[in-house]
Structure 1
Amino acid sequence: MSNSRIDYLREKAMHLPLSPGVYIMKNKKGEVIYIGKANALKNRVSQYFGIQNMQTLKVFRMVENVYDFEYILTDSEFEALVLECSLIKQYKPKYNILLKDDKGYSFIEITNEPWRKLKAVYRRENEESTYLGPYMSHFVVKQSLDAALKIFKLPQCGKTFPYKSQRPCLNFHMNQCAAPCTGNMKKVDYDAAVNEAIKFLKGSTKEYLKEQETLMEKYSKNYEFEKAAEIRDRVNAIKKLTEKQKVITKGAETKDVFSLARDEDEICFNVLRFFDGILAVSGNYFTELDKTLENTRAEILKCFYTEHDDIPRTIVIDGECDDHKLIEQWLTERLSKKVQIIVPKRGQNLELVSMSKDNAYNAFATKKRYSKADSAVIELGEFLALKSPPQFIESYDISHTAGADTVGGMVVFKNGVPCKSEYRRFIVKNTTPGDDVGAMREVLTRRFNHYVKEKEEGKLNGFARPPELILMDGGMAQVGVAKEVLKKFNLDIPVFGMIKDGNHKTRAITVDGNEISIHAKRRVFTLVSSIQEEVHRYTIGYHHKRRLKNAKKSELTDIPGIGPKKSEILWKEFKTLEAIKRADMDTLMNVKGISARDAMNIRSHFNM
């Protein structure tokens, strides 16, 4: 830690009260670089200036730049959360999670002029204008605004009103503009249309349609048929423009779905926004891990809804988050309706989380030019709670026939792809036939004996390079013996088992006596399945080869006078059993170590 004021900061933190409040970190220039809240200020702030190796890289860098800090006491932790969000929005501190997406924001501008106009823009540049947003997709903003202008018959041209024109444009004849340029539309009617368009853009299409249909019915009952017809045309226009949109969720729900993808300390989070069951927006944002994943989720939610006023009543997230109930309370007060934050365990919401997570990993792949295999490795590392994505994965299997010709196989995947030059085969020699666990113990012991030897020789690859993850083909017995061997060599390598179902297909991963289903994690399932299939193919293939070779050798040793030694001599000379069968007496006797009697017995055995 290069911060020369760390002792001063630690001492100051230790004198803070054990009360809820907000703390404000500043750099040497007095600029606000981080804002946080705490239920007990002393406990929370002192953690920053304690043991540095327990902090994430982001927090470590922030602490290096802290010159001093201030704090504000509040009456409750909830008040602290509200104040924290307000201050973050005001100062936008460097080390708080700020929404940096992969495209940029869009807004709908409402100009401040007598005849107001609605525009799709990328920045809030005009201080006199009012803005809706920010929105994550400029395409969706443009599409929604175009629809609103047509539905409410507002001008799409660049004319400034009042503007006198003898002839209206084509949009008027297509019934998509009321043509205020001709003077036929009163200012009060124009303002009413703009207000309705704003109301439509800010709200739910479903709720707006329901409200308009109620109003249409009211006008009809009051015999105000002209007004009723106007609303009917508006309702029909909205339905026509939205009928082609795909409904994704059941029940026409409005909800936001969040999920995180992690690559070491870098985070990409995706949000899918559904309006009336229709997927309207998908956005990806990049940030850094903030203390823990649970804390990062909390910071993301606070930051996102500080920037976005359109809060749904249901928010779905991919894991637990800190301050869950406080954030629900904050959002409920802002919306004036009950807001729920849920972590799904099953059903459609879990499917939506999986869809969101796929988008997050695809965004990582695009940003860093990862392959699909790289993305799968990153997701596997996160799924198994590893410190970092495992670049090298080793997998082991045992194969034999009724205890005979037992062999072990080791396959290596590098960055999610088979690295065949690193594959190794083992002939099991010192284990009781049929003892799979003992055979695995022998294989792993020999593998890591090679590791010790080659490391001492200064080698870097092959056996000298330890894996970052071991996947055993089997359950807890195989995982247990692997951990036993690793402990013997004083190695700390994560070990998991791969379990198959009744059809010999990968079903789950096992650890500490528990099974973890991987079917919902598409990339993880594909990678783990391919590793299990590959180690099985490689090991059983070697076993079949050994078994065939030994079977052929045993056929020769059935010949009188031909023992294992002479059988080996014949195999080395002729290579195949067919060549031995075809050899005549002279050819056989020319082999060193084979006598005339041996040659005669060989010929007689094969009825030649």
Structure 2
Amino acid sequence: MTKAELYQKACMLPMLPGVYIIRDKSDTIIYIGKAKRLRVRVSQYFREGVPHDNKVTQMIAHAYTFDVIVCQSEFEALVLEASQIKAHTPKYNILLKDGKGYSYIKITREEWPRLSFALQKDEDGAEYIGPYTSAFAAREMAESAMDAFLLPRCNKRFPQDIGKGRPCLNAHIGKCMGVCSGKISCEEYNQAVKNAARLIRYGKKEILKTLHQRMEEAAERLEFETAALLRDQIAAITKLSAGQKVVVDPDVEMDVIALAGTPRSVCAAVLRFREGRLTDKREFVFHDTADVDAVREEFLPRYYLDDEQVPRVVAVDALPPDADALRQALSEKRGSEVQLYIPQRGDKAHLIEMAHTNAVERLARESGRYAREEKLLDELAQVLGLSAPPQWIESYDISNWGDGSSVCGMVTFREGKPYKPGYRRFKIQTVAGTDDYASLAETMTRRAAEYDKYAALAAEGNPSENAFGKKPDLFLMDGGKGQVSAARQALAGTALADVPLYGMVKDDHHRTRAIVDSAGREIAINMNRGTFTFITAIQDETHRFANEYRKQQMKKKSYSSTLTEIPGIGPKTAKALLTQFKTVGAVKEATPDQLAQTPGVGGQTAQTIYDYFHPAEAGE
């Protein structure tokens, strides 16, 4: 549908609350929103002359049709919108990422378990508490728990290292129970780890009550060493608690939220207060928009109605238009009444100012980063003689190994920063043996073909966000004149032939030395610190990405070759098994019935595979 047709359709909508779902030409959902009056909200997107920020303008440009779901109330629309966004994650709805990822607290499963902070959850059989959206909060909780229960932080292995050498400094200053001294039993140690986990999960009130009871029982049994250890743990928890400044009523669970904006982005800052103390701070930056009110309206329900814990009090700098519906939704999720309001005076009003200051400071840091990156791109343009700063840079590196196989890694830098959605990997298909020049030529030929494909789709009215559909401002090859010439010849006569192309030359110590053009002329960059650092970062990232892909392929080949040693199993079947089970170990543990579920693997072949890994059973 055209924009005029979409506007006419919107004008026929009812003046009732509901949810609208906007789709692109491929029928993909690109935006979901709620409205108090559907006709008013949806029609404003498609009415001529209505100004929109950059994000909304892009969404409208890709809109092809829309559907609506009429609801009985604003509350029903708000809850439905949140569930639909969570189910479909549309491209133009705000993404609640604060750049920190998820973090965990890890407890190993062994005779003498260890507690630590972890950035990710591994398949290692350990117990993981979390996930936590804040690495800061998770790390602080892990450190506090280890301090409270005097858990070891060293690399010693227990019980192997018990009694070997003197205890470390932490044991001497009272920060470790000194397991290595041999004075702590395995049972006592495991109980301390369990108590640390309870402190993390449930807070200090419950664990202090339990520790007091256990200390009294130990004293009654005349187990004075145990009682003294429990006493020290109680004192440590009390000391940790006292060392944190109380800023609000200790009985209040409260989040304080404020937003700030610039002409190019908006930041939402969230301060979390639990038991009267500031326990966490989160910041969310949304680019390509300057509409603070619109971001607030979408952010608040998204933040709380997905998976976030709802506190008793939510203090905000301004209420969204659907405040009553949001308050009802938060109360229902929490299971008790939630206070959503704007503090007018006193300490809580000051906390709103504090949150707003954090949002402003984050935007200032973002602006500073943009300014630094823009300066780097300006300098690079001057060094290379480009007509404009290169906003979209693609860099390529060939990586090969002993059997003649090669791969190529392509990394993308957008506005001076690595742009991971633009990274691509190429498995070299037409080159026999190790030939970096030919491999690079194949890669660039395929790159140009991909660009032509997406350019044709755009000409037909089907624009794509795929990175291959973007024409770069600059190509960089890892290597010298030979690599540059091979890439330039491959691009000759294509739509990418006019893109500036240079090589990144390294010295004998594998460090970036200069940039080289297709004529073999070197452009010294070591005198320009900013450009030198920037090019080095691009070259190192490209090399890392290409090598990572090569190692991954080598590992797959190694796994595959293990399976092809089984009689009757060829490369195709080995690949199917690895696709189904991921690892050779999983194939080994699978039953014949499970193996037979692999495409192309029948019952007889499944039994052959099983017997290969279980010869004792096969011989019975």
The alignment's TM-score, normalised by the length of structure 2, stands at 0.49
Q: Who wins on radius of gyration, i.e. which is larger?
A: 1
The alignment's TM-score, normalised by the length of structure 1, stands at 0.50
